[in-house]
Amino acid sequence: MVNRHYDQYLSVVGLKGTQYALLSCVVKLGPMRPGDIARQMQMDASTLSRNLQPMVAQGWLSVGAGEDARSRLVEATPAGMALRTEAQRAWKAAQTALNQRLGLAQVAALHDLLDASIGILDESRGGTLPR
């Protein structure tokens, strides 16, 4: 339900939450190899590929040559950077609405529970989630 809440707000700018997260990762960390993005976002390569393809088709991200003939780099386009700025406003509006609806104490408790759960899951897999 929380994902749907954020997706509803992000749909105004044409994104889903997963796409916003991917776009933000690439904008913040600069041109990256797909494998590095997958590790950073703790997702497998096929999931990244499925999420990346429509964003490249929309012109928000580009995939270009990397350091050698076998590597590639994913980079945010100017349109992607502008979209992220727009999407940040939508994300903030979603967060504000969630804070108002649930109350700050409940949102903080939810964050604490999620952080603790992620920590336990990460520890049980030797420090990393499977990719």
Contacts of 123 (CB under 8 A, 6+ apart): none
Residue 124 counted as domain residue: no
Residue 82 counted as domain residue: yes
Residue 114 counted as domain residue: no
- pLDDT tens-digit profile of 3-55? 999 999 999 999 999 999 999 999 999 899 999 999 999 889 899 999 999 99
- Residue 63 pairs in a beta bridge with 74
| Nearest-angstrom CA–CA distance, 4 and 21 | 14
Helix axis angle, 45-57 relative to 34-41, nearest 10°?
Answer: 110
pTM of the model: 0.83
Say which CATH number the domain at 95 has: 1.10.10.10
| Nearest-angstrom CA–CA distance, 28 and 51 | 18
Residue 76 counted as domain residue: yes
Residue 111 counted as domain residue: no
How many domains does the chain fold into?
A: 1
Residue numbers of the domain that contains 86: 2-102
CB–CB of 54/18 below 8 Å?
A: no
Residue 131 counted as domain residue: no
